[in-house]
A and B are shown apart, each in its own frame.
Chain A
Amino acid sequence: MSVDTETVARIAALARIKLGEDELAAMVPELNAILGWVEQLGEVDVTGIEPMTAVIENHLRLRDDVIDADPLTGGGKRGDVLANAPAAEHGFYGVPKVIE
């Protein structure tokens, strides 16, 4: 499968990356080279093979339902979560106005 300019433009839009025309034109052959190369995976017979889910055999741990049990992953830190925000106002993150 090879991608055309329109497809790359659609993918870039989906990924929210604005591409200039030159950038888009350059990207098409690059992506095609990479996609053409990864497609050799299609040769592999994977009959009866499960896709990998855990790299190393391990079990999902579930945590107890306790508020702020670990301060590093708890709430109540508005200052910390807003500290790096480009446009924080009145305790909110500001973004350009959204019309729903």
Chain B
Amino acid sequence: MNDYRIQGATGDWEVVIGLEVHAQITTQSKLFSGAATEFGAEPNSQVSLVDAAMPGMLPVPNRECIRQAVRTGMAIDAQINKYSRFDRKNYFYADLPQGYQISQLYHPIVGTGSIEISLDDKEPEASTKTIGVERIHVEQDAGKLMHDQHPTMSYVDLNRCGVALMEIVSDPDMRSPAEAGAYLRKLRSVLRYVGSCDGNMEEGSMRADVNVSVRKPGEPFGTRTETKNVNSVRFVMATIEHEANRQVDVIESGGTIVQETRLFDPGSGTTRSMRSKEDAHDYRYFPDPDLLPVELDDEFLSECRDSLPELPDAKRHRYENEFGLSSYNAGVLTAEVETARWFELLLMESARAQGEPPAKVAKQAANWLISELFGALNKLGTDLENSPISPEKSGELLALIGDGTISGSIAKQVLELMLETGDAAGVLVEREGLKQTSDTGAIEEVIAKILADNADKVADYKGGKDKLFGFFVGQTMKAMQGKANPQVVNELLKKALG
């Protein structure tokens, strides 16, 4: 692995990165009120009296939020704190009706854990790194301000206000934009496997505060800046790139880095200082007196643990060991929970249709999914989640290949027809006459004609040019329009050529 370095006038600089990821917990209702969390509703239509911080309103926590945070912690092998507390983080802003955010500072629900990232897609095991997670705590999201609707006013929509977030705080363990990108993708993958967050960065369900500092290799950490609410993996990487270079420039031109909050501008790919939150440093955290400590019992914890699905790393290893898949293929199939789910359905359907154990048909399914279906979907500009053909129909197609009804090349044709028409593979093969023939009489007839037409090549073959065997196979298949069973063709050709 190459070390990522910023080349400055005074030498090489190392970048130190930590990420605070805010992940919206997938729930029906908000963290402390019964209002809905659905994205895209009319402004202020999903706001309760509690969310609007009406006088006398009180928070009552949502069990599902606690449960999902705990499950997420378990998924990254973190320490689960049976005792945690909600604190108030006090500051004034128009998107924060209470004048404080209910969060967890002193006693977070999840303590230290870790996430293993892989820096090489081809060989996932070849280059890995463990990124520490310092903590996960549960907190309220804020509302939304709109600045462009009125000449002198900003508009406030509190629909998001009080939606439950997990703040997942990493250690400053990353050293390059690529590592940060890999960490985010892996974290997103884990969250989606667990089902605690949909990972939808466009809708703001996941966003990162990016902490960046630079130092000369081997020296102590430099002063960091925090760029807030960056909402895509690409932007996070761009933020780091820009911020690291900016900091090197500042330091090398005699300046010092101030610890500050910055904002990423996707248009220019640069960051700038965020003046509006300048004086918000003294948050006056204290335990929320409206809430008692969160105390988790063993029954709750074992339910959380028992309900955890197989996670991406474990699944990848199983695909390699149990199914004999290459680690690249296993990695591709397990990176996203939706892919793995689709693959496993396909495997089940294909195994059922072929009357074989899954392990026996797994390689075929994996190869077909990765090299055929992904390609076809890509061409259509869609993805697996929106695939027009189902795992069940795909399984049928694989079974037709497996039992020799169609050849691999005909299968490509069938897949295209399936995507076009939506019809089942069997129906298409029948209707289009694509069935592979094992009718020895017909094949022998064709072979006889080909050998007669190519007497010279037959002579060469007999004279020792073994390679010409492929030529005869090709000619036969061509004459048979690809529908001859290749195995039968081989056998009959061998016989005919003596």
* A residues with CB within 8 A of B: 13-14, 16, 53-54, 58-70, 72-78, 80-82, 87, 89-100
Instruction: Tell me the complex Cα distance, A97–B249, Å.
Output: 34
> 6 new A-B pairs (CB below 8 Å) besides A60-B293, A75-B46?
A60-B61, A65-B65, A81-B44, A91-B45, A92-B149, A92-B155
Could you tell me if A81 and B150 are in contact, using CB atoms closer than 8 angstroms? no
* B residues with CB within 8 A of A: 27-29, 33-36, 42-52, 54, 57, 60-66, 85, 92, 94, 145-147, 149-158, 263, 274-276, 279, 282, 284, 287, 291-295
Most chain-B CB neighbours within 10 Å: which of A64, A70, A76? A76
Could you tell me if A53 and B85 are in contact, using CB atoms closer than 8 angstroms? yes
Task: Give the residue name and chain of the A residue nearest to B27 (CB).
Answer: A65
Residue of B46, B64, B292 near A54 (CB, 8 A) is B292
Could you tell me if A78 and B44 are in contact, using CB atoms closer than 8 angstroms? yes
Q: Which residues of A contact B149 (CB under 8 A)?
A: 90, 92
A59-B292, A91-B43 known; A77 vs B152 contact (CB < 8 Å): no
Could you tell me if A92 and B43 are in contact, using CB atoms closer than 8 angstroms? yes
Task: Give the residue name and chain of the B residue nearest to A11 (CB).
Answer: B282
Residue of A62, A78, A91, A93 near B62 (CB, 8 A) is A62
Task: Give the residue name and chain of the A residue nearest to B62 (CB).
Answer: A65
Residue of B33, B36, B47, B145 near A78 (CB, 8 A) is B47
Could you tell me if B63 and A65 are in contact, using CB atoms closer than 8 angstroms? yes
Could you tell me if A73 and B34 are in contact, using CB atoms closer than 8 angstroms? yes
Instruction: Tell me the complex Cα distance, A65–B52, Å.
Output: 19
B349 CB to closest chain A CB (Å) equals 33
Could you tell me if B85 and A75 are in contact, using CB atoms closer than 8 angstroms? no
B75 CB to closest chain A CB (Å) equals 19
Instruction: Tell me the complex Cα distance, A54–B151, Å.
Output: 48
Could you tell me if A67 and B62 are in contact, using CB atoms closer than 8 angstroms? no
Task: Give the residue name and chain of the B residue nearest to A58 (CB).
Answer: B292
Q: Which residues of B contact A82 (CB under 8 A)?
A: 44
Task: Give the residue name and chain of the B residue nearest to A60 (CB).
Answer: B292
Instruction: Tell me the complex Cα distance, A84–B28, Å.
Output: 28
Could you tell me if A14 and B156 are in contact, using CB atoms closer than 8 angstroms? no
Q: Which residues of A contact B48 (CB under 8 A)?
A: 73-75, 77, 81
B50 CB to closest chain A CB (Å) equals 5
Could you tell me if A98 and B291 are in contact, using CB atoms closer than 8 angstroms? no
Instruction: Tell me the complex Cα distance, A91–B274, Å.
Output: 28
A70-B34, A74-B48 known; A94 vs B153 contact (CB < 8 Å): yes
**The 3 A-B residue pairs with the shortest CB-CB distance in the complex, in nearest-first order:** A75-B35, A92-B155, A62-B63
Residue of B28, B155, B274 near A100 (CB, 8 A) is B274
Instruction: Tell me the complex Cα distance, A87–B154, Å.
Output: 11
Instruction: Tell me the complex Cα distance, A53–B77, Å.
Output: 29
Instruction: Tell me the complex Cα distance, A77–B159, Å.
Output: 11
Could you tell me if B61 and A95 are in contact, using CB atoms closer than 8 angstroms? no
Residue of A54, A65, A68, A89 near B150 (CB, 8 A) is A89
Q: List 24 A-B contacts (CB under 8 A).
A: A14-B284, A53-B293, A54-B292, A59-B295, A60-B291, A63-B63, A64-B63, A65-B28, A67-B34, A67-B35, A72-B49, A74-B34, A74-B35, A75-B36, A76-B35, A76-B36, A81-B52, A87-B153, A93-B44, A95-B94, A95-B156, A97-B152, A98-B94, A100-B274
B59 CB to closest chain A CB (Å) equals 9
Could you tell me if A95 and B153 are in contact, using CB atoms closer than 8 angstroms? yes
Most chain-B CB neighbours within 10 Å: which of A58, A92, A98? A92
A67-B36, A91-B44 known; A14 vs B51 contact (CB < 8 Å): no
A89 CB to closest chain B CB (Å) equals 7
Could you tell me if B49 and A73 are in contact, using CB atoms closer than 8 angstroms? yes
Residue of B54, B154, B263 near A97 (CB, 8 A) is B154
Instruction: Tell me the complex Cα distance, A76–B65, Å.
Output: 21
Q: Which residues of B contact A59 (CB under 8 A)?
A: 292, 295
Instruction: Tell me the complex Cα distance, A80–B54, Å.
Output: 10
Instruction: Tell me the complex Cα distance, A69–B33, Å.
Output: 9
Could you tell me if B63 and A89 are in contact, using CB atoms closer than 8 angstroms? no
Task: Give the residue name and chain of the B residue nearest to A98 (CB).
Answer: B154
Task: Give the residue name and chain of the A residue nearest to B55 (CB).
Answer: A84
Q: Which residues of B contact A64 (CB under 8 A)?
A: 62-64
Could you tell me if B147 and A97 are in contact, using CB atoms closer than 8 angstroms? yes
A53-B287, A81-B47 known; A89 vs B155 contact (CB < 8 Å): yes
Q: Which residues of A contact B63 (CB under 8 A)?
A: 62-65
Could you tell me if A54 and B293 are in contact, using CB atoms closer than 8 angstroms? yes
Q: Which residues of A contact B152 (CB under 8 A)?
A: 96-97
Task: Give the residue name and chain of the B residue nearest to A93 (CB).
Answer: B156
Q: Which residues of A contact B49 (CB under 8 A)?
A: 72-73, 77, 80-81
Could you tell me if A61 and B60 are in contact, using CB atoms closer than 8 angstroms? yes
Task: Give the residue name and chain of the B residue nearest to A81 (CB).
Answer: B52
Could you tell me if A62 and B66 are in contact, using CB atoms closer than 8 angstroms? yes
Q: Which residues of A contact B54 (CB under 8 A)?
A: 81
Task: Give the residue name and chain of the A residue nearest to B43 (CB).
Answer: A91
Task: Give the residue name and chain of the B residue nearest to A80 (CB).
Answer: B49
Task: Give the residue name and chain of the B residue nearest to A69 (CB).
Answer: B34
Instruction: Tell me the complex Cα distance, A14–B29, Å.
Output: 33
A58-B292, A75-B47, A77-B48 known; A99 vs B62 contact (CB < 8 Å): no
